[in-house]
Structure 1
């Protein structure tokens, strides 16, 4: 290739080498600050549903990625999860969240709290809601204080475009709140029914661990099986779509106004969006138990004498059978293959479990005890320790497997 160019190539150490910063603050460009308004979508969506349970969701505030919450259609249920939940008695089945150690067994006992005016479990004393003093409350208040500060700063510095951006973008969060505000309607038992039978459930996770929840049938249906209903404040789909359209226009016009604000106000806006994105990301990284208020339930953990951990899946399954005194839940939950070998082993495990029925003692919390994460290690002053008898479940399965193999494939001789 021929021809001359006027391009000078500079390398580090060369006399033409220099680092460019900017030609004075007045020439510093921040036109791209509007893009900060639409970043952070995953952090906002992580806790969007629980945040919308609180009335604070109506507050005008700086909200990152508001476009994530002005969809054309709304969710009709809570997100599904991965754990296999099976009722011990009825065999009801549903999928839930995957968590816990590998090949572990945990026991939780839970019930609805009762009020002096309600001595039965037929009517819930309170609803599942967002924590009033949880992390999402502080995230919302941070966004509100930022919007208030930017509104005042826009007036003080006489920046009309920043003032318009504040009104539109902060007001958009209120539109989002109106669109998404909802209450959680849990299934209720039949009126007038005073019977409250046991409704113990077994949750089998993909990693081979089991969680046995000992509760009433009403609590089990409410928490695990009956479909939860999302009751939106704005029930009309047409009204919701109209508000979503208005919100979309407010977002676009707000970003245009922000791009034409004074430099100092754009810097303030950039800082506000960075701070609120950090706040939302931090809230999204926290466990879900820090956001949900489940104070309407009393939940505590019970221990096994051998501890929660096991050496293999067969041992974990055997302890789950011991705690439930049943194998009716094993097939619906897919906890064991449907073979003659496993049928025989399950019957043997149930026999051993029946022999050890009712063997438990009261215990105290000890240092180093492994607690189920969702409970946060909360224990009552006295709780049960389930005594696990000495029976090698895996060794018994191996023995049965060998006998079955010898019968099916006899050695030549």
Structure 2
């Protein structure tokens, strides 16, 4: 290998033998975090079985398979059902990305089944037959297009290797493409939602969601929609049994290791082509991470719209800089907005949005009364301060008045959540 001081050296190596491209084997396994981020959508599509170059295929080589889709931690309460949960389901969070909500914001969302689904549900057919609903990947999702592009790119590398008479590259690309097929087949699955088993009359399925930052989301929906997206669980139904999965994982690991060794022994031209392909694919997968998940999943089963009233749309902003109580964002103001829309306070107590002290109970009762009377301009923050000030004068402990009474659990700290997820 040439070095500075050799004839013809001009800052960079000046001939092919002077360049070393052994790092191409490293390019094949870089990008694990990007692949892991899209693991659900990749393996939920039948295109995951296409033989193709896949950056960091080891991201899919797991000793066990998840049983649940990932959830987002938030406090969720059934407004009328009384259900209390500490997380929001995967697809519900796609419809309303909770992490994107500003602190103390307020949102009202109307969600219902699409007309065709509603017609089927009205007959009771699905409830009787027990067929659980499925949310498939979008047919023309960016991941599908990228999978097809990767397949064509792999075919192009094979053709080039044949032209260059590079047998090592032919074997390496074939093996690493087969590894993605084997791993994709073993991991292929479909998400199935919970469903009511009867058609009895039940209360409305409205739910209230509270984030750790103090934002509230009121979802107005039927019990069927609530069971599918919120109060039920999304489960992973795999096409391959557990024993076959482990065999495929072992085979995929062997194919990957052998192909990585062979990649380092390809000709210079093949290594350039393969290395450039992995760089492009890694960049594209990273780029997909900036797209909303609605681009990847077919949620046409549902329709939704923002139904927030005008006087609640700016809950997270200063509406009157001269009024430091009612005109500035606060937990109390947003809580009042939520009560004003639901005209109920049972969910407040059950979800821990407010302490159970007599002072807070008094404020909640007054808030409920004003909500039912349609007094949307009630000075909720001012009234809360008056009640709490009187409690302090009476010698009460201020710590007992802190709201919310129950904080939202942070990621990884939700009690009782022991099931494996993606």
TM value normalised by structure 1:
0.83
Structure 2 residue aligned with 1:216: 222
Following TM superposition, by how much is the alpha carbon of 1:303 offset from its aligned partner in structure 2, in angstroms? 2.3
Q: 1:121 to 1:400 in 2, by over 3 A?
A: farther
Structure 2 residue aligned with 1:281: 286
Q: Is the 8 A contact 1:43 1:280 kept in 2?
A: yes
- Per-residue CA deviation, residues 369-392 of structure 1 (Å, 9 max, x unaligned), is xxxxxxxxxxxxxxxxxxx71111
Following TM superposition, by how much is the alpha carbon of 1:405 offset from its aligned partner in structure 2, in angstroms? 1.6
User: Which ranges of structure 1 fall in alignment gaps of 5 or more residues?
Assistant: 1-8, 11-17, 357-387
> Which of 197, 208, 223 is residue 202 of structure 1 equivalent to?
208
Question: Is 2:138 aligned against 1:131?
Answer: yes
Could you tell me how far apart the structure 1 residues matched to 2:133 and 2:387 are? Answer: 51
Q: Which aligned runs of 4 or more in structure 1 are off by greater than 6 angstroms? A: none
Following TM superposition, by how much is the alpha carbon of 1:80 offset from its aligned partner in structure 2, in angstroms? 2.1
Following TM superposition, by how much is the alpha carbon of 1:126 offset from its aligned partner in structure 2, in angstroms? 6.1
Structure 1 residue aligned with 2:168: 161
Question: Is 2:359 aligned against 1:352?
Answer: no
Structure 1 residue aligned with 2:261: 256
Structure 1 residue aligned with 2:343: 325
User: Which ranges of structure 2 fall in alignment gaps of 5 or more residues?
Assistant: 316-328, 397-422
Following TM superposition, by how much is the alpha carbon of 1:71 offset from its aligned partner in structure 2, in angstroms? 0.6
Could you tell me how far apart the structure 2 residues matched to 1:83 and 1:198 are? Answer: 21
Question: Is 2:358 aligned against 1:340?
Answer: yes
> Which of 267, 271, 275 is residue 270 of structure 1 equivalent to?
275
Structure 2 residue aligned with 1:360: none
TM value normalised by structure 2:
0.81
- Per-residue CA deviation, residues 352-376 of structure 1 (Å, 9 max, x unaligned), is 11112xxxxxxxxxxxxxxxxxxxx
Structure 2 residue aligned with 1:77: 68
Q: 1:61 to 1:325 in 2, by over 3 A?
A: same
Q: Secondary structure at the match of 2:214?
A: coil
- RMSD of aligned alpha carbons: 2.1
Following TM superposition, by how much is the alpha carbon of 1:407 offset from its aligned partner in structure 2, in angstroms? 2.3
Could you tell me how far apart the structure 2 residues matched to 1:208 and 1:340 are? Answer: 22
Could you tell me how far apart the structure 1 residues matched to 2:54 and 2:310 are? Answer: 50
The structure having more radius of gyration, on CA atoms, is: 1
Structure 2 residue aligned with 1:381: none
Q: Which has the higher helix share?
A: 2
Could you tell me how far apart the structure 1 residues matched to 2:123 and 2:354 are? Answer: 34
Could you tell me how far apart the structure 1 residues matched to 2:144 and 2:350 are? Answer: 41
Q: Secondary structure at the match of 1:203?
A: strand
Could you tell me how far apart the structure 2 residues matched to 1:37 and 1:239 are? Answer: 26
- Per-residue CA deviation, residues 326-359 of structure 1 (Å, 9 max, x unaligned), is 1111133221223222221111111111112xxx
